[in-house]
Amino acid sequence: MDLGEGLRKAIAKLQHATIIDAKTIKEFEKELQKSLLGADVEVVLVHDFTKRIEEKALKSRPPAGIAPTDYITNTVYEELVALMGQSYEPKLKKQKILLMGLYGSGKTTTAAKLAKYYQDRGMSAALICCDVSRPAAYEQLETLAKQANVSFFGRKGEKDAARIAKEGMEKFKDKQVVICDTSGRSALDDQLIGELKRVAAVFGPDERIMVISADIGQVAGRQASEFNNAVGMTGVIVTKMDGSGRGGGALSATNAAKSVVMFIGTGEKLTNIEPYQSDKFIGALLGIPDLAGLVSSVQDAVREAQIKPEELEMEQLNFESFYAQLKAMGKMGPLQNIFGMMGASDIPKEVAEQGEEKLNKYKVIIASMTKEERSNERILHNPGRIKRIAKGSGTTEKDVHQLISDFNKMKKMFGNLKNDRTFRKRFANMM
């Protein structure tokens, strides 16, 4: 059970309690402790957290008109936000960013994600490869830079990271955001500390950011402290937040170590990075819909997929517009994340994965249709067309029939909404 599921179950149990007394609060406290400890949150932090919940629940009265269960739930929300740290607002200004981290943290991918994040917001961005120890680091960052459509510099075979940083700075002095990816190690040692200090002296970073993987849990706090003491840090980026049940442990530990969490990585795609917002993160854990985040994700996905607004027009729902919608959904990241933004965090993971598999299959099938077939689904009743599409897409005729059936159901549903002006206006604005 992940942290969010455990917290939601504990709160649901509290909401169904008939009497809120000391015994009920103690049982609720134990459920919270179990969830937090299971997410690798440090024992001392868990103890202090639940003690504060207990004191507020038993010693303070809810405001007039507020049910005790709602008051306690809000208290849990506020204390979790405090436990996981403050939100971060990125500065869209000219800056140099030095990324540091150990092996396995996802540092190189994060460098490309960060460059794309700023470039997508109108800032010219560039990447410098100063990782001179890991094999293929140069090739990996160069490839990612091309995917992110940002500038790249490195010297393949050069072992002096400071020299690369100096040349890169001269090359990119006209860029607004320059990100330097550095070497990692399996542990922080004197050699790495010396190299980072030399690169920093030449590069002159405005931000020194350590990249930490969420799957190391509470160890993140110790790593952050060690790097800060050795080379100085302005913040942390926590990666792999989409697949680690120990993300709460990593976030709470870095906050306890007085390190600012600046961004979190939420998936494998280059767009899966976002500024850390503790209230949004806790809201997702507790199953609170994040409609603003959902709208932003849709807009980013539509822009990245280079979809024209008219392709999403509800008046013309055919396989052409349906294909555009599927492409946009594919850019939004895992379905599990989308469900979470809708407040449906408890959708089983296997159901979400099956849904993704089905949607990907549908994209391949539609891609095998002719332009005429995409714009007029009525002609697909021809068995010869079904057979050709199945063969061209590497699927079965049954798969094609299933797509047509699901599409017709969706078209009927949208047909019923066509006269709902409020819905249409909101949909158009969101897209």
pLDDT at 306: 57
Strand partners, 97: 179, 207
pLDDT surpassing 60 at residue 424 = no
Strand partners, 235: 209
pLDDT at 144: 97
pLDDT at 356: 75
Average pLDDT score over residue span 169-176 = 95
270 Cβ contact partners less than 8 Å away, ≥ 6 residues apart:
109, 112, 113, 116, 144, 147, 148
pLDDT surpassing 60 at residue 227 = yes
Chain segment 269-308, per-residue pLDDT in tens = 899 999 998 888 888 777 655 444 545 555 555 555 555 5
pLDDT surpassing 80 at residue 25 = yes
Question: Please, what are the domains in the chain?
Answer: 3-84 (1.20.120.140), 95-285 (3.40.50.300), 291-430 (1.10.260.30)
pLDDT at 226: 92
Please name the amino acid found at residue 254. T
Average pLDDT score over residue span 91-96 = 95
Average pLDDT score over residue span 360-375 = 87
Measured CA to CA, the distance from residue 129 to residue 150 in angstroms comes to 13
pLDDT surpassing 70 at residue 313 = no
pTM score: 0.69
For residue 402, what pLDDT band results from cuts at 50, 70 and 90? confident
pLDDT at 294: 47
Chain segment 35-68, per-residue pLDDT in tens = 999 999 999 999 999 999 988 888 888 877 788 8
